[in-house]
Amino acid sequence: MAMIAGSLAGIMHGLHRRDGTSQYLSISMPNTFSMSPSYVKKYIQEKSLIAPDQDVFERLRDKISRLYLDAIDGHDGQVFAHDASKLMTSRRIASNSVDLVVTSPPYLQVVNYGTANWIRLWLFGIDEVGRDRGKGRVELDATLDHRHTYTSYQDFLLRTLLGIQRVLKRDGVATVIIGDVADPGKDPVPLAKKIWDDIGSKTDLRLITLIGDHFSVETKVSRIWGDTKGQATDRDCVLVLAHKNGDPWMGPGAVDWDEPYKDGGPDAAHSRVRARFSSSTSAEE
């Protein structure tokens, strides 16, 4: 059920294709952030938009099939609905048990993640989370860890890095993606480097490399609110970390991006899933 609910949340809203078709259930709107109810209402009226006549079950079937386009063999995973920094410092994950950590912590003072997902939260029964302050938003603001000053952001990331240090295998690797930020009219702050310079020595991790990822700032989803909103810049950085005494495998230098199952389409994907669950059920019996 969680898989179905998550898949449905993922197609609640998004941009239409150039030919007017869509894999989403809404008018054409950003997929990453939910625009406010008042904005959506005004935008529909101004553009004379009409909601698409979508078969929810077909769109959901297509969504799930896309998730299974690649191979589904291998080990079953575990999912934790928990604060990652607290989870990794707890005993729910064994020390020195993780080969790879890939994480992108919340951006510093850029996104209110509750408000930005109010439509999905509404789907799950949490009301009044839109940008007009309602009960749901007030409650989430008191729960979510997103209103950081730089000092509290340092503390948050130090807890996270110490958690990574505890769970990471001796030769494991962690990648922490941190976006540069800037107040309007001011120079961007190279946040990843600044954070590492300030707190790296407080850990037993070492910096293997810092990778800068540049892209057009106009494509950043936070820019949908205009130039005066948010601190989006044209660069994200990746801190690649390992234990100080670790010797991680550096890889072959090239990645095979071939997707052998992709051409099979949705029917083939669903057939593989059914076959797997049928075999699992038979084994249990």
Please determine, for residue 224, whether its predicted confidence score (pLDDT) is greater than 50: no
Residue 130: which region, alpha, beta or left (left: phi > 0; alpha: psi -120 to 50)? beta
pLDDT > 70 in the chain, percent: 78
Q: What pLDDT score does 74 carry?
A: 73
Tokens at 280, concatenated: 């699992």
Beta strands 168-179 and 235-243: pairing type?
Answer: antiparallel
Buried b (16+ CB within 10 A) or exposed e, 228-253: eebbbbeebbbbebbbeebebeeeee
Distance CA 26, CA 39 (A): 14
Q: What pLDDT score does 223 carry?
A: 47
Instruction: Write the single-letter amino acid at 163.
Output: G
Cβ atoms of 44 and 32 within 8 Å: the answer is: no
Cβ atoms of 220 and 228 within 8 Å: the answer is: no
Distance CA 128, CA 46 (A): 24
Q: Which of 66-75, 222-231, 240-249 is predicted most confidently?
A: 240-249
Contacts of 33 (CB under 8 A, 6+ apart): 111, 116, 117, 221, 222, 224
Distance CA 118, CA 59 (A): 21
Query: Model confidence over 139-193: pLDDT tens digits?
Result: 777 777 666 778 888 888 999 999 999 999 999 999 999 877 766 566 667 788 8
Domain at 84-111+148-243, CATH from 3.40.50.150, 3.30.750.24, 3.40.50.2020, 3.40.50.300 = 3.40.50.150
Tokens at 125, concatenated: 């029964």
Distance CA 25, CA 15 (A): 10
Buried b (16+ CB within 10 A) or exposed e, 21-30: ebbbbbbbbe
What DSSP element (H or E) covers 109? none
Q: What are the start and end residues of each CATH 3.40.50.150 domain in the chain?
A: 84-111+148-243
List the beta strands (DSSP E) in the chain: 98-103, 168-179, 205-214, 235-243
Q: What pLDDT score does 56 carry?
A: 94
Q: How confident is the model at residue 230 (pLDDT cuts 50, 70, 90)?
A: very low
Q: How confident is the model at residue 242 (pLDDT cuts 50, 70, 90)?
A: very high
How open is the CA angle 104-97-67, to the nearest 5 degrees? 50
